[in-house]
Amino acid sequence: MFRILLVAMSCIFFTGCNALERFSNRNHISQDEFVQMVNNARSYAIAKEKRLNAKDIDIINSVDPVFSVYYDGPKSGQFGLKWKLTEGKILIVDGMGYLTEKESLVRVRIEMIPGVSENKK
């Protein structure tokens, strides 16, 4: 009886961690899905945020953002994309829900980097 229990526990230990890892990988988005999400965020930000100048729009379209996410299910969660813009600005696009759906994008905001003057160019 003890051997059966030991074998069962060993199987759970050695395969259980691998099974959890495979499950967690399903939660994350692929590289193609990341590109789709970034493109959705770019379009959303440019359409919604009227204070962007031509240089800012060039940065948004040519630089990958800093991406942060808290997954709460398969390919879904709360997420943010940040671009460092000109004149000490940061553009932030927030989302909640399925990461690759346009409907998940909920807010665009511009924040100033502390200690950086708006007049510096």
pLDDT tens per residue across span 11-26: 444 444 443 333 456 6
Between 113 and 60, the more confident residue is 60
CA distance 72 to 25: 13
User: How many helices (H) and strands (E) in the chain?
Assistant: 3, 4
pLDDT tens per residue across span 75-89: 999 999 999 999 999
This model's pTM is above 0.85: no
pLDDT higher than 90, residue 95:
yes
Q: What is the pLDDT of residue 105?
A: 95
CA distance 32 to 16: 29
pLDDT tens per residue across span 27-57: 789 999 999 999 999 999 999 999 999 999 9
